[in-house]
Structure 1
């Protein structure tokens, strides 16, 4: 029952009931990645291309798609990684969760949320002060 309610009321956690029905009706399973995300294709979109989609395992996070599947789902390549011996290139980074909003988020130098102190003002810039 809880699974039904989750699929009925949320879009960010796995799949909705509409996606489940569409996948059952039109989807052809293409493969699964190392994170448990399932990839499907079926039907055509308005451009005449085969429609491709992913059903995330757990929380829907677009950055959780590995590089090989990213290329396939965006129609950069026609062969899914499950049908070939795909190896990521040396410059492709492994998946790292999106840390925005957490304590581990990136804080650039000088950010008020960072640990570093802001650099001193140099002679080419004077901070504005209100005149009294």
Structure 2
């Protein structure tokens, strides 16, 4: 019952009912990445290109698409990584979830979220004071 409700009411959790139906009707499975995301193609877009889409495993986050699959999804290559021996370049880093809103988020020096005292104002900046 939980999975049915998630399928009906959440777009960020895998796929919706519409995507599931479209995939069943027109989708041809192309491959799967190391994170468990499944890639499909089928039908034609309004630009005359073949439609390509991904069904995420779990939370839908676009940055969770590996570099090889990203190129295929955006029509930069016609051959998906599942049909070639794709090896990521050494400068291509693996997926790291977006830490915004979590304790691992970046907090610059002077941020109210950083413990300690804020640094004194220096330079050509003078803080505004009422009547000053």
Is this a same-fold pair by TM over 0.5?
yes
Shift of residue 116, structure 1, vs aligned partner: 6.0
Cα displacement string for residues 60-88 of structure 1 (whole angstroms, at most 9, x for unaligned residues): 11111111111111112221111111111
- Shift of the 113–47 alpha-carbon distance from structure 1 to 2, 3 Å rule, reads same
- CA distance 1:118–1:19, change in 2 (3 Å): same
- Partner residue, 1:68: 68
In structure 1, distance between residues paired with 2:7 and 2:37: 16
Report the counterpart of residue 119 of structure 1 in structure 2. 119
Following superposition, the deviation at residue 98 of structure 1 comes to 1.1
TM-score (ref. length: structure 2):
0.91
Which SS does the other structure have where 1:128 is aligned? coil
Q: How many residues align?
A: 132
Secondary structure of 1:88 counterpart: coil
The 8 Å contact of residues 37 and 56 in structure 1, kept in 2 or not, is answered as: yes
Q: CA deviation at 1:117?
A: 4.4
